[in-house]
Structure 1
Amino acid sequence: MAVEIRFTAASVARVRFAVSPLGETVLALRVLLGTGGHAAHRPWVRRARPLLAGERELPVLRALLAGPLPSFLFPVPQERLPSMATELDLLRATEETFFRREYGAVLGVPGEEVPAPAAVLPRLAGALHRCHELLVAPYWARMRAILEADVGRRALTLVDGGVQALFSELHRDIAWDDGQLVVHGRRTPHSAGRHTPHSVRTVDSGGHGLVLLPSVFNWPHVGVDESPVTTASIRYPAVGIGLLWEDRPPSPPTALAPVLGYTRTALLTALAEPLTTAALAVRLGITPSAVSQHLGTLRGAGLVSTQRRGRTALHLRTERADHLLGTSAS
C-alpha cells in the first residue's frame, strides 16, 4: 500500500511543522491498548497501563483505535505548538458529515446508525483530556524537548537543501519525486478507509500545503492522513526517543545551585560526558532554546566548551567546572 500526495507550487511553499499533544495522546493510547507501539516504549507502558484501567470511555476508545485511525482524532494544528485545550476544541468542532463518514467506516456502522457528533465528540474530548493528564502530561516536557529539537533539525535541512533534501532524510519510506510525495511500506495510516495491500491512494494537497509532525508514540513508523479535510499531514518518527525514558541524571550539588541556579547546575552535572543540545533538553525536561541560553552563559563563564562536528554541536564541562563541582561536593 502506498500513498501519493500531490503538490502544487503553492502547496510546496506551505510545508510547515507542528507538534501535537492531542495526536501524541491518541497514539499513546493506541500503544497501551496493544494495537501499536514499539519495544522502546516498554518502560513507559509499565508505568502507564495501570492508570488507564479506570477510564469509563475505554470501550469506545478501544473500538476507535483498534484498526485504521479515524482522521477526526487528528485535527491538523493551526499553529506550531498548540495547547491540548486548543486541539480538543478543534476535535469538538469536527464537521458532521466528515465525522459520520469516518466513525461509520471505523466501527462498521451504516451511516444512518452513526450517532450525532454532539453525542460522541464531547465524551471523546473529555476522555482524551483525562488520558493526557494521566499518561502524557507527566512526561510532556521531555517529549516536547525531543519534538522541538527534531523540528529545529529538519528546519535547518529545509533551509539548507530545500524540500527535496528535507523529504530525502525524513524517513526511509518517504520519497520525493518531481512534485509528488510517495509514502511506501509499513505505516500507521490515519484513515478509516480500507485498502488492498497493493493499492495506491492519492491525496491532493489542493494548494493547502502539508504539515509535518514529529512523533514519539508513532515511532518508528510514518502516519499519513489519507482523508484530509484541507491541509494534508504526515506524522514521522522523531529522532532521539531512545533517550526519552532514561532515568534523569543525578541531582546537582545542592550547595552550588543557589549560586548558579538549579538548571545551570544540572547542566554542568550532566556534562560529565559530551552531549548535544537536544540530549540535554531531554534529560532536563526543558526546551532546546532554554538549554542554548544557559549554555551560552556557562560558556561565557568558562565552564562549558563546545565543539562542532558538521551540524552537530557537542558540549562538555571544562576543568574549571570540574573543580567547581568538586569543591561544592566536598
Structure 2
Amino acid sequence: MAVEIRFTAASVARVRFAVSPLGETVLAVRILLGTAGHAVHQPWVRAARPLLAGERELPLLRALIGGPLPSFLFPVPPERLPSVTAELDLLRATEEAFFRREYGAVVGVPAEEAPGPAAVLPRLAEALLRCHDLLIAPQWGRMRAVLESDIGRRALTLVDGGVHALLAGLHRDVAWDEGQLVVHGRRTPHSVHTVDAGGHGLVLLPSVFNWPNVGVDKSPVAAASIRYPAEGVGLLREPSTEAPAGLAPVLGRTRTALLAALAEPLTTGALAGRLGITPSAVSQHLGALRGAGLVSTRRTGRTALHQRTERANHLLGESG
C-alpha cells in the first residue's frame, strides 16, 4: 500500500533531520525477534540474539514489536540528537486514547478493551532501556557517525537542489508526485493511505536497523516522519580503520586516524563519534591537516564536510 504525505507550504518549510536511538533500539529488537532484517545484519544477529533471550519482558516486547509496529514506539524526536532517556520520556507520556487505539490495532482487541498506558508503558520503557544498553550503546559511537555522515551528505543535497532533490534521493520507494510525497509504490485506487503533515512538518530519520527499507509513520500525532536507510551501513560491520603505523610518529596518532577515517566525506560530529574525541579537538586537528594540504572542507551554511585530498591519499598509500 502506498502512503501519501500531504504538504502545505508551512510543512515543506519544516523539513528537518533527526537521529533516534530509541527507534534504532526498537528496530534492532524486531530483527532479533525474527520478523525482519537484511543479510547485512546477520553477523550482528548471531552475536546479539543470545543477549535478548534473558530479557524478562520478552513476552511484552514480542507482543508489541514482533508484528506490525504501533506508532507510539516511535515518538518524533524534538531535536536532532536526542538521548534515549529523553525519547523514553516521550514514550511514557503517550496520550491515552492514542495508546489504546494503537495497542488494540496491534494485538487485535477493540481500543476500549486495551489496557491503559499506565499498565504498559512504564514496563515497556524500562525494557527498551535495558535493550538499548545491551544492544545499541556498545556500538552507538560508530552508528551515530554513520547516521550523522548521512545527514551531512543529504543536507548538501538540500542546499544544492532543494526539497525536491532531497526527497527524491531518499530511497527508490520515495517519490515526489505532483506536490505530494508518495512512499511505497505508485498510487492506485483504493490503495493509498493518506497522512496529513499539516503545518507540523516532516522529520527524516536515517536508520541502521531499518536498512534497506523505508518506513513511514501512518498515524503521526504531530510531525510526519520517514525512516530511511542510511548510507554507509556496511561500514559498521567492518573492523575499525587501522591508522598506518609509519605516519603516526610524524603526524601523531589522532591526525593519522582522522586521515584514515576520511576516505569518505564526514562531518566534524561524525569524526568525533568515530574517534571518540570531542568536536573541538577534531576541529583543531583538521585545521592543521588543512594547512598541510591533506584535508579539504566544503562548507554550506552550518554544515561542513571534510575529506582527505589526493596528496593525503598518496601519503597513505606510500606508508601502507
Give the TM-score of the pair, scaled to structure 2: 0.86
2:210 maps to 1:218: yes
**Does residue 120 of structure 2 align to residue 120 of structure 1?**
yes
Describe the shift of the 1:117–1:160 C-alpha distance in structure 2 as closer, same or farther (beyond 3 A).
Answer: same
Offset at residue 116 of structure 1 (A): 1.3
1:6 maps to what in 2? Answer: 6
Which residue identity is paired with 1:54?
G
Q: Percentage identity across aligned positions?
A: 73
Distance apart, 1:177 and its partner CA? 2.0
Distance 1:124 1:197 in 2: 38
Which structure 2 residues correspond to residues 126-205 of structure 1 after superposition, within 5 A?
Answer: 126-185=126-185, 199-205=191-197
Deviation of residue 62 (structure 1)? Answer: 1.0
Task: Give the equivalent residue in structure 2 for 1:245.
Answer: 237
What is the CA deviation profile of residues 124-158 of structure 1, one whole-angstrom value per residue up to 9, with x for unaligned ones?
A: 10000000000001110111011111111111111
1:72 matched residue in structure 2? 72
The gaps in structure 2 that reach 5 residues or longer are 299-304
Q: Report if the CA contact (8 A) 1:141-1:286 is conserved.
A: no
Question: RMSD between aligned alpha carbons?
Answer: 3.2
- Equivalent position of 2:263 in the other structure: 275
- Shift of the alpha carbon at 1:320? 6.7
Change (3 A) 1:212 1:91: same
Tell me if the contact between 2:296 and 2:306 (Cα under 8 Å) persists in the aligned partners.
no
Match of 1:294 in 2: 285
Taking structure 1 as reference, are residues 150 and 55 closer, same or farther at Cα in structure 2, changes over 3 Å only? same
Contact 1:32 1:49 in 2 (8 A): yes
Provide the rounded CA distance (Å) in 2 between the counterparts of 1:289 and 1:212.
27
Match of 1:191 in 2: none
Structure 1 CA distance, aligned partners of 2:145 and 2:8?
33
**Aligned partner of 2:218: which letter?**
E
Whether the aligned pair in 1 keeps the contact of 2:4 and 2:194 (CA below 8 Å) is yes
Q: What are the superposed Cα offsets for residues 276-295 of structure 1, whole Å, 9 maximum, x if unpaired?
A: 13398486467999756533
Determine the C-alpha separation between the residues in 2 that align with 1:215 and 1:286.
Answer: 23
Structure 1 pair 177/168, CA: closer, same or farther in 2 (3 Å)?
A: same
DSSP-derived class of the 1:170 partner: coil
CA distance, structure 2, for counterparts of residue 76 and residue 236 of structure 1: 14
Cα distance between partner residues in 2 of 1:81 and 1:64 = 25
Partners in 2 of 1:320 and 1:8 — Cα distance? 51
Separation in 2, partners of 1:80, 1:305: 27
1:242 is matched by which residue type in structure 2?
G
Q: 1:292 to 1:101 in 2, by over 3 A?
A: same
User: What SS class does the counterpart of residue 277 from structure 1 fall into?
Assistant: coil
Q: Give 1:206 shift.
A: 1.4
In the aligned structure 2, how far is the partner of 1:217 from the partner of 1:91?
20
Encode CA deviations 1:278-318: one digit per residue, 9 max, x unaligned: 3984864679997565333223246x35599xx99444636
Contact 1:148–1:287 (8 Å) recurs in 2: no
- My pick for the range that moved more, 198-207 or 23-32, is 198-207
Corresponding position of 1:29: 29
- The alignment covers a number of residue pairs equal to 309
- Closer, same or farther in 2 for the Cα pair 1:305/1:153, shift >3 Å? closer
Alpha-carbon spacing, 1:162–1:81, altered in 2? closer, same or farther (3 Å): same
Task: Using the TM superposition, name which of 69-78 and 198-207 deviates more.
Answer: 198-207
Query: Structure 1 pair 39/284, CA: closer, same or farther in 2 (3 Å)?
Result: farther
Supply the AA of the counterpart residue of 2:206: P
- Report how far residue 245 of structure 1 moved: 1.2
Per the alignment, in what secondary structure is the counterpart of residue 169 of structure 2? Answer: helix
Alpha-carbon offset, residue 66 of structure 1: 2.1
Q: TM-score, normalised by structure 1?
A: 0.83
Match status 1:231 vs 2:246 = no
